[in-house]
Amino acid sequence: MEIIFSERARREWTRLERTVQDHLREKLSLYLESGQPLNFAERLHGPELGEYRFRVGDYRIVFDVEGDTIHVLRVGNRKEIYKK
């Protein structure tokens, strides 16, 4: 699978501390290497934000899936991610 970040997600990623980025990167790699990354995801109830999310500690990665591509829409702390 391939991961593509939206412009907003890319900006949010760059604002995170380096240690948080490294931890999220490790988890994303683990999920992708499993061959079934959606097994680690949870479907979101409201489709306005995105279809799925990964939970990594206090951080969330919100994304949609299209074929073999994960489109990351948002990245951030759980306290802030669901605010518009």
The pLDDT of residue 60 is: 96
The pLDDT of residue 40 is: 96
CA distance 32 to 3: 9
Residues spanned by the domain of 30: 2-81
The pLDDT of residue 7 is: 97
Count of structural domains, the chain: 1
Q: Profile the chain (84 residues) by mean pLDDT over runs of 10 residues.
A: 94 96 96 93 87 96 94 94 76
Q: At 10, give phi and psi (nearest 5°).
A: -65, -45
Whichever domain contains 48, its CATH number is 3.30.2310.20
CA distance 4 to 21: 16
Whether the model clears a pTM of 0.85, i.e. scores above it, the answer is yes
Q: Give the Å distances, CA to CA, from 8 to 25, 39, 47, 62, 76.
A: 17, 25, 17, 11, 11
The pLDDT of residue 57 is: 94
User: 31 is written with which tokens?
Assistant: 């999920």
